[in-house]
Structure 1
């Protein structure tokens, strides 16, 4: 299954499996763990020894996530956004300005790579030495690529009970982000149908 850094960032807010919401970026340690888990997606911008997040970097990534989730909510509208932040979404114009400003922190120049016998490709050559700035800018650019790409049309907020994830539909009939959410949603529907039928049947009272 394809992974997108922007979706991975948004998904650091998730259902905790017990009826609540977990935040993988709630601490600097959790943020460090998350950054290292994205090494395969962000390897070009991470130093060889990785990055150990402090509270400042954690706050920066969390604010970038707020912007990304606000723009995800704009994408899925008029359907409702994720319930995790539906009541405290960053305004869309503020989210857009923040995303663009973070992306602009790293000056980059496109370079053409064309190995002998291979196909030409591009890479970005950075003029920024600070690995934390490079990380933040890479995350912002990834969100810009995602939101301006074709996968935006398939972005959905999962409607399963207690789920707070966004996901990209992989086939036409997909309603939920993962099978366990589908099971939970179907069970909830069944319960509601049974409850309504019981309420309407006088013999059941």
Structure 2
């Protein structure tokens, strides 16, 4: 069973990383860094999967917001509490907004649509999105790589296949729990009492 799972990670892991990075993606990028340290992924391949996933995901949301602004699904998102604040931020600080939007957990969809509804020119957005995606990919891949080094140090020597999978699973669960708790905590702080 472990050999089968390990083979699946080796064969389809980078595709899963790419798909994960199309969405929020921090967990996928950290896992990519971990498995890169363990020798399952090449550094360049892991970087390309995380970068392209992050870049294309944000570009699709931006273009979707711009192209489908009058559609009911987009209107439902723009009616959410706080969306006006996002529009004001992108209008006042478009460069900083695009560069930092991906770092606010749970804000990627709303933030991307707000950017799409703004007056930011498409070429400017794509350039800023590429810069942000580059930094984001390097940051989260590095975090995962450090986790890999730490796990190898803690468990002693080279990790066995089942240890890699278990540590990778633990990283995914931990990142999901921490980011979910942080989003919940920040959401509660922003709500009026």
Q: What TM bracket, shorter-length normalisation?
A: under 0.3
- Greater RCO (CA < 8 Å, at least 6 residues apart): 2
More strand by share: 1
**What's the TM-score, normalizing by structure 2?**
0.27
**What's the TM-score, normalizing by structure 1?**
0.26
More helix by share: 2
